[in-house]
Amino acid sequence: MYIVFLIILVIIFVLVPIIDALGILDRIANSKDDAKKARCKDYYVIIAFVWGMVTPVLIMCIIGGISLASVGFRLINFEHNVWFTAITITLAFALFVYEFVLPLVRIKKIREAIKNDDKEDFDEYPQTSKEKLLYSLQTLSFAICEETVYRGFLLFLLYAIFPEISIFLIGLIAFVAFGIGHLYQGLRNAVEIGLFGVLSMCLLIVTGSLIPSILLHFFCDFTAIFVVNKEHNNQT
């Protein structure tokens, strides 16, 4: 049964980039309304999509009698090699500082850089309180659903089917699975995101929990909510 589940998971990994590459979500969210309504509709569509992606995994868990704790929804428990754990936690903390803390500290400079860059557009960022709430829900949805599918459920199946699997092979699989899922963003971004997938998988392994991975994923994507401030809204 677990092999069948793994095949279904691989199909999900393949379908997601195809859907993104074909622009199916963009066409669904496309609207002739003003920019504000269009952004809100886009958030709704993406939130529905990511939860739709995790639904087959939840169904497989029910069918296979797999508990949420088995896929990582449990308390943190450090039981792995101390050096591997220390290195993983250090890298995760460094990424948190780089992707969330530093941008937050430099948010005024970031706003100016976006303002002076012809390729950037403030309209791409959440503007109103409602949009920022929807963006927060979207970011949380991505964190929960992608970590559940690409890390928690995948790791459970790999250990269930291949009990002696090497941690290096797990890392390689995590890199390929998450990287392929983001090929629509370009090869360079796919590689960077694939490396994040490896770090996130290692974080799950050393903590025994998806909670740190979900939090890291959430905060690495959350800084966009601070780009547009009230002052810019008043000017527009």
**CA atoms within a 13 Å half-sphere pointing along the CA-CB vector of 80:** 18
CA dihedral 80, 85, 89, 95 (to 10 degrees): -110
Distance of CA 110 to the CA centre of its chain: 22
CA distances for 57 relative to 43, 145, 153, 188, 197, angstroms: 22, 10, 7, 29, 18
Please report the pLDDT score of residue 236 as a whole number.
Answer: 47
Please report the pLDDT score of residue 37 as a whole number.
Answer: 76
Q: What is the mean pLDDT of residues 112-123?
A: 76
Q: What is the mean pLDDT of residues 29-45?
A: 75
**pLDDT-based confidence at 36, cuts 50/70/90?**
low
Q: Long-range contact list for 64-69, CB < 8 A, 24+ apart?
A: 64/1, 64/2, 64/5, 66/156
Please report the pLDDT score of residue 233 as a whole number.
Answer: 55
Q: What is the mean pLDDT of residues 152-181?
A: 93
Please report the pLDDT score of residue 135 as a whole number.
Answer: 95
Q: Of the given ranges (86-95, 155-164, 179-188), which has the lowest mean pLDDT?
A: 179-188
Task: Please check the confidence at residue 34 and state whether its pLDDT lies above 70.
Answer: no
Q: Of the given ranges (4-8, 116-120, 177-181, 190-194), which has the lowest mean pLDDT?
A: 116-120
Give the separation between CA 157 and CA 149, rounded to whole angstroms: 11
**DSSP-derived 3-state class of residue 34:** coil
Task: Please check the confidence at residue 232 and state whether its pLDDT lies above 70.
Answer: no
Distance of CA 105 to the CA centre of its chain: 23
Q: Of the given ranges (15-24, 52-61, 114-123, 130-139), which has the lowest mean pLDDT?
A: 114-123
**pLDDT-based confidence at 101, cuts 50/70/90?**
very high
Tell me what the pLDDT averaged over the chain comes to. Answer: 89
Q: What is the mean pLDDT of residues 89-103?
A: 96
Q: What is the mean pLDDT of residues 44-48?
A: 93
Q: What is the mean pLDDT of residues 110-133?
A: 82
